[in-house]
C-alpha cells in the first residue's frame, strides 16, 4: 500500500509528460499535413514537366518526388536568387514566397518516388566508381546509398530515376562549380577529378537504379 501511494505521483507525472509529448508530436504532424496540402495546391503548375506527384517520365525533367524537403527548398531558393542557373526553373521559382517554397518542398518530399523507366544497360566502370570510388574520388554510395535512395535526414538527394543526360549535366555543372547554392560545395571535391568518360559511365549506372 505504502509503495503504491508513493509511486502514484511519479506515475502521474510520467503520464502527463507522455500526453504532452504526444500532443506536441500530433501538433507537428498537423502542421506538416497543412504544409503538404498547401504545397499540393501551389505545385499544380509543376506537374506539366515534373509529372504526377513529381515522378517524371521525360528525361529532360528530373523526378523530384521523395527528395529531402531541405534539398528541394534550397534548390528552389537557389533558382529564385540565381545561384543555380536555369532559364526554365528561375522563371518557375521567381514568384514563389519562402512559405510557398517550404510547402511545395514538404509536399514533394512526402510523395513516393517511382522509377518509371529504369535503363537495362548500365556501365561496369560506372558501377565500380559509384560503389567503390577510386583514388581521389569518394564512393557515391557513401552518401547517396547503394540503391540510390539518398538520405532524407542528412539531406542527400536520391539518384533513382534521374536520366543519364540530367545526371551528367549536373556532374559537369558541379565540376566547373557552375551549380551553386544548397550544399553544392559538398559535391565539388567529389567530382573535381572525374573525366567526361567517367561522368557518362556514372550517369549510365545511376539510370539502372529501380
Nearer to ligand HEC, 8 or 185 (CB): 185
Binding string, 119-138, against ligand HEC, x = CB under 6 A? ----------x-------xx
Residue 42 C-beta: closest distance to ligand HEC, Å: 7
Of 11-19, 25-33, 114-122, 161-169, the segment contacting ligand HEC by CB under 6 A is 161-169
Query: Does residue 88 bind ligand HEC (CB under 6 A)?
Result: yes
Q: How far is it, in rounded angstroms, from Cα 45 to Cα 52? A: 11
Cβ burial, residue 188 (10 Å; 0-12/13-18/19+): middle
Q: How far is it, in rounded angstroms, from Cα 181 to Cα 78? A: 5
Task: Note whether 171 and 204 are within 8 A (CB).
Answer: no
Distances in Å between the Cα of 83 and the Cα atoms of 15, 74, 89 are 50, 10, 12
Q: Coil, helix or strand for 129?
A: helix
Query: Does residue 115 bind ligand HEC (CB under 6 A)?
Result: no
Please report, as ranges, the residues that interact with ligand HEC according to CB under 6 A: 43, 45-46, 48-50, 60-62, 64, 72, 74-76, 84, 86, 88-89, 92, 104, 129, 137-138, 140, 142-144, 156-157, 162, 167, 169-171, 179, 182-184, 186-187, 190, 202
Amino acid at each position: 500500500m505504502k509503495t503504491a501511494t508513493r509511486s502514484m505521483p511519479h506515475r502521474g507525472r510520467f503520464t502527463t509528460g507522455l500526453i504532452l509529448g504526444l500532443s506536441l508530436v500530433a501538433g507537428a504532424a498537423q502542421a506538416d499535413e497543412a504544409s503538404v496540402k498547401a504545397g499540393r495546391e501551389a505545385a499544380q503548375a509543376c506537374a506539366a514537366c515534373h509529372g504526377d506527384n513529381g515522378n517524371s517520365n521525360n528525361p529532360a525533367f528530373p523526378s523530384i518526388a521523395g527528395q529531402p524537403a531541405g534539398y528541394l527548398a534550397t534548390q528552389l531558393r537557389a533558382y529564385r536568387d540565381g545561384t543555380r542557373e536555369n532559364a526554365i526553373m528561375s522563371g518557375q521559382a521567381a514568384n514563389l514566397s519562402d512559405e510557398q517554397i517550404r510547402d511545395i518542398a514538404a509536399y514533394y518530399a512526402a510523395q513516393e518516388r517511382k522509377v518509371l523507366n529504369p535503363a537495362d544497360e548500365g556501365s561496369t566502370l560506372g558501377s565500380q566508381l559509384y560503389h567503390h570510388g577510386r583514388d581521389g574520388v569518394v564512393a557515391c554510395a557513401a552518401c547517396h546509398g547503394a540503391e540510390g535512395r539518398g538520405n532524407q535526414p542528412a539531406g542527400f538527394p536520391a539518384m533513382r530515376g534521374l536520366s543519364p543526360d540530367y545526371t551528367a549535366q549536373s556532374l559537369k555543372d558541379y565540376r566547373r562549380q557552375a551549380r551553386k547554392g544548397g550544399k553544392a560545395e559538398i559535391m565539388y571535391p567529389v567530382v573535381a577529378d572525374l573525366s567526361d568518360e567517367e561522368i557518362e559511365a556514372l550517369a549510365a549506372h545511376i539510370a539502372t537504379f529501380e
